[in-house]
Structure formats: C-alpha cells, structure tokens
Structure 1
Amino acid sequence: MLTFRQLETFRHVMRTRTTVGAAKALRVSQPAVSNAIKQMEGQVGFELFERIGNRLIPTPDAEEMYRDSEAIFSLYHALTHRIESRRNSAAGNLRIVCTPPLANALAPLAIRNFLAARPGVRVSLDTRRIDGVLEAVETRSADVGFALNPPTRDGLVSERIAWGQVVCAFVPGHPLENKLAVTAADLQGHPLVLYEPQSRLNLMLGEGFVTERMRAEAVAEVRYSTLACLLAETGIGVTLVDSLTAMAGSRYRLTFRPLHPAQPVPVCIIRRDGETGKRVQTAFLDDVRRSSLLDGLMGFGDSYDY
C-alpha cells in the first residue's frame, strides 16, 4: 500500500516533471525522490514516468493516478485547516445550557460577540431548569452550563463570575416607585406574583424576605421570572425578579427597585470537575469572564445612592 509521503513525492514530480524540482519542494535529496518513484513503480506494478533526458514524462496511468490522488490532498488540506482553526479557537462545536434568566440576558449577546471573530464555530444553546442544567453538564450533553445560585453536586464545579440581586418589579406609577429600596414591610398589602415552591428564586427569598402570609396572599404563582415580569406588566401585582431578567434588553415596561436588605444572587458557570475543556469552550468562558455584559447587575434598579 502506498504511503502518504510516497503520494506527496509523486505529486511533486508530476508538477515539476523533474526529480530535482520535486526534491527542492520537499527539501530532500534528489536520489531520495528517484528511489521513492522506483519503489512506487514496483508497488503499483507499472511505470509511472518515461525518462527523456532530464525530464520525466508521466504515463497515462500516472496521469489518472494523479487526478485520483488530488481528492486525498484536498481532504488533507481541509483537515489541516480545521486543526489550525481549532488551535485558534476559530472552529469547533460548543454546547451551552442555561437556566432561563441566563439564556434570556447573557447567552445571546455573549454568543454573538464570540462568533463575530469565529465564523467556524457552531453553537448549540438550550435552556432548562436548574436540575436539567446540572444533568446536561454531568451527562456530557452540554459542555458548559450557566445558572443563578446553583446547588452543589458531586462531579461538578460552580464558578461565580458576577453578583446579581433580586429586585422588585412593578408598573410605572405604582406607589412603590417613590421608594429608594423596597423592604418586606413595603410589600404588605400589595398583590404579589411569586414563584412555585421549588424554584431557586423562591428558595432564596424564602430564607427571610417573603413571609408565609405574603405567599398565601399571592395573586399568581409562576415557574419563570420572565413570566413574572409579563404578569407584572399587566398590573395585576408586584413581583420579585433577578436583575438579569430585569435588565435583559430593557424589554419590559416595568419599573425596578432593589430590595433592602439586599438579596444578592451569584451568577455561575457550571463545569465538570477535574476536566480541561475544549479549546473553544475555554476561549468562550474567557470571553464571558472579561465581558462587560454583567456589569451593573448588582446595582441594577438603584435610582439613588442610599
């Protein structure tokens, strides 16, 4: 069977028509090229060139071999280009999974900025609840996850990249608009849109801000903070959302105020513990860490210094 090096030598001889020219292109000696051609002829069982003076004239069989071999070199050069692109993190596949607040606010712009200089990268983006995000990273159906305040799980590592906070959201002109910050006492008497019991935001608020009485008097219960904002837009009640959801493209016709005392929320990357990520994954996460997209999360909703 012919080796790739033999085919490469044959290809250069076909192009230069001399062993001297091929040797120069390959940076080997002229006798090495002559010996390689003789070996090829012995292996294939027929002559490849007619020797006329210092020139090598390809036989019809050699011409056909040359045309057939070009497909091999095309694939080789394509592979070399892809390897080079991967080395520069300009190609590859990246699978990202986020909880809805991160999918709505962070992921689209982060992906856009990353792909702007890397047209060869293909991104898969999925959004799931926190248990689904952890499972996707754990089972390798995703390379990396993003979530707010994720629980710990063996085999996974959570890295905080920013702090957000919980803010109060209500329609413009609401009485709470006069507040610099909203306390639990300020919410008394106002219809509330809250979260189902096992949601991460509900569990965080349940540590001291939202009372059982407030939960009992809630006018609506939702799963996602985006839905909470949509309901609040209708004016049926006041809601509490993470600042990522609140600042996502200024898409909600709502006014926001921070809570007092502040209710911070960690924004986290989730990866498999002890593993070195793909080059494209590492480059993307470095981009996110350096990004200004998360600036202002902790202060979002502040109307004055207080």
Structure 2
Amino acid sequence: MITLRQIEVIRAVMVTGTIAGAARLLNVSAPGISRLMKYTEDTLGFRLFIRRHGRYDPTPEARDVFDLVDTVYRKVGDLQTAIDRMKRGETKELSLGSVPSIANVMVPRAIERLRRRYPQLRIDINILKVEDAVDYLLLRRGEVVAMSYRFDHPIVTFEPLARGRLICVVPEGHEFAGFPSVTAEQIVRHPLVGIDPNDPFGGIMARIFARRGLTYDTTIRARFGSTVCSLVAAGLGIAVIDQFTVAHDRVPGIRCIEIDEDTGFETYAAHRNDGPLSTYAEDFVSMLRDEMRAVTDPAIAE
C-alpha cells in the first residue's frame, strides 16, 4: 500500500522535475528522496520517472496517477488546515455556565487564559441560578457549569474545583475595617445585607449564627453577591459573602475581614457524565480550578 509520505514525494518530484528540487521542497536530503522513489517504484511494479538531461520526466503511468495523487495531497492539506483551525478554536464554540459568585471574577480570569490558548474560540457564557444549572446541562445548552454546591444526580457529575470560605465585608471607614478578623457576635450587632438563606452561601451564613444561638437582622436582601457588595460599599450595612466574589480586590469601597468561624464550602464543575467534554471545556475547567485555588491558597499563586 502506498503511504502518504510516498504520495508527498511523488508529487514533489512531479512539481519540481528533479530530486534536488523535491528535497528542497520537502526540506529533506536528496539521497533520502532517491531511495524512497526507488522503493516506491519497486512497490508499485512500474517506473514513475525517466531521467533525461538531469530532469525527471513522468512516465505515462505516472501521469495517469498524478491527478489522483494530487487530489489526495490536497485533501491531506485540507485536513491539516482544519486541524490547525481547531487548535486555534476558530471553528468551535464553547458554551458554559456559572453561578454568579464564581462568574464575577474567577470565570473571566479563566476565560482570559483560555482565549490566549485558543484565540479564535467562540465562547458563550451564561450566568445561572443554582436551580437552573441542571436543565442547562440536560438540555445540552452548555457543556459545563461552575457550581457552589453539589447534589446527587444520575446524569450529572461534579468535579471539585476549590474549597473556599465566607468572609465579612464592610464599607471603608467602618469600625471593623482595620480588624484582622471578627466573630459572629460582633457581626450580628450591625445591620446585615444578606442573601436568601435557601441559597448555599445564605445557608452557611445562617448556620454560623445558629451555632452560637444568635439572631440576626437582614435589613436588605439581594440575589447576587456583586449587588450585596455594592450595597455594602454604599454604607447600607455589612455582609457575609464568599471570597471568590471579592477576589483580587475587584470590588471598590469595601474591606474584607476574616470570620472566626468555620465557613468553608466546596465548589464544583458540573457536566454530563454520558459523554466526554470537549478539549476546550476540559481546559476551561483546569484553568478555572487553578485560578480559584490560587485565591484560596496564596502559596499556589506564588
């Protein structure tokens, strides 16, 4: 059976008319071309070229196969072009979702890295409520969703991303602003801007106070962490929020303070388990995990 390399060499000799020219075209040695041509003719059982005045003229048999050889060569070239375009992401689109807390800072940083690797990749990002994430995956609207909690599902797999924690955010100039940490008892003395206790982070916050037998007053409730932070910056209260929303000091007008309680939580990349992720989705998850772990563990960032 004739190989693609033999097809490439036959075409190069046909195009250039000499062994030396074919060698230059293919960036290989001339003796190597000569040996492969002899082997090819022996394999085929007929001569492809006749040497006249230093040139290699194709035999009638070679002319008969040249069109086929050239067609195969062009198809291989088309295949390589398609592969190169896929490497750049030029012909593909990645659809992904994220809960707001991870989408605020972490997802854009991961996407920036992904775009550097695949500069032509089209990307569709959807900000999802927790309760919408499963339908997003099951209906194949996207490949992967960054989640703030997990649950059992027969079709959805949850891969760990990073373990985060909740922190207290206060306006600049607040009495807590210079504190390294605060207790649950200190927090409940101030009006709270909060999120729904049914939200994963809202549930963690509620348990902080429940463990201490404390009651708290949520004077303003907002759905998304970015909104909560803006309300705090406006001086409308203090808040307990996840560290990813405020990572890299992306929210002006607030100060972040540690809480003297166990406020840890896990995050996940959710995707269907009945088929493989695309290379782009796998790389996104890996990059997102790196970005999130760099926030939770400063040693990784260094």
| Pairwise same-fold verdict (TM > 0.5) | yes
Taking the aligned partners of 1:233 and 1:212, their CA distance within structure 2 comes to 25
Taking the aligned partners of 1:225 and 1:212, their CA distance within structure 2 comes to 23
Question: Segments of 4+ in structure 1 off by > 4 A?
Answer: 7-14, 21-28, 30-35, 52-57, 69-76, 210-213
Q: Is the 8 A contact 1:90 1:119 kept in 2?
A: yes
**How far does the alpha carbon of each residue in 1:74-122 deviate from its partner, in whole angstroms, 9 at most, with x for none?**
6652332333665xx5534322211112111111111212322332433
Alignment RMSD (CA, Å):
4.2
Name the residue aligned to 2:135: 135
**Structure 2 matches for 1:49-198, cutoff 5 A?**
76-83=76-83, 86=86, 90-91=88-89, 92-198=92-198
- Evaluate the alpha carbon distance shift between residue 244 and residue 27 of structure 1 in structure 2; reply closer, same or farther with a 3 A threshold: farther
Q: Is the 8 A contact 2:106 2:291 kept in 1?
A: no
- Evaluate the alpha carbon distance shift between residue 152 and residue 31 of structure 1 in structure 2; reply closer, same or farther with a 3 A threshold: same
- AA aligned opposite 1:186: Q
Q: Is the 8 A contact 1:23 1:29 kept in 2?
A: no
**How far does the alpha carbon of each residue in 1:28-59 deviate from its partner, in whole angstroms, 9 at most, with x for none?**
74488898x9xxxxxxxxxxxxxx999879xx
Taking the aligned partners of 1:281 and 1:272, their CA distance within structure 2 comes to 12
Deviation, 1:151, is: 3.3
- AA aligned opposite 1:294: R
- Determine whether 1:247 maps to 2:255: no
Aligned residues: 275
Unaligned runs of 5+ in 2: 23-32
**How far does the alpha carbon of each residue in 1:152-206 deviate from its partner, in whole angstroms, 9 at most, with x for none?**
3331121222111111111122122354322222123311111134322212223
Name the residue aligned to 1:261: 261
- Evaluate the alpha carbon distance shift between residue 256 and residue 249 of structure 1 in structure 2; reply closer, same or farther with a 3 A threshold: closer
TM-score with structure 2 length normalisation?
A: 0.70
- Evaluate the alpha carbon distance shift between residue 154 and residue 243 of structure 1 in structure 2; reply closer, same or farther with a 3 A threshold: same
Taking the aligned partners of 2:243 and 2:295, their CA distance within structure 1 comes to 9
Deviation, 1:232, is: 0.5
Unaligned runs of 5+ in 1: 38-51, 300-306
Taking the aligned partners of 2:100 and 2:73, their CA distance within structure 1 comes to 46
Taking the aligned partners of 1:27 and 1:124, their CA distance within structure 2 comes to 54
Q: Is the 8 A contact 2:165 2:243 kept in 1?
A: yes
> What secondary structure sits across from 1:237 in the alignment?
coil
> What secondary structure sits across from 1:236 in the alignment?
coil
**How far does the alpha carbon of each residue in 1:210-238 deviate from its partner, in whole angstroms, 9 at most, with x for none?**
67942xx3221110010000011100111
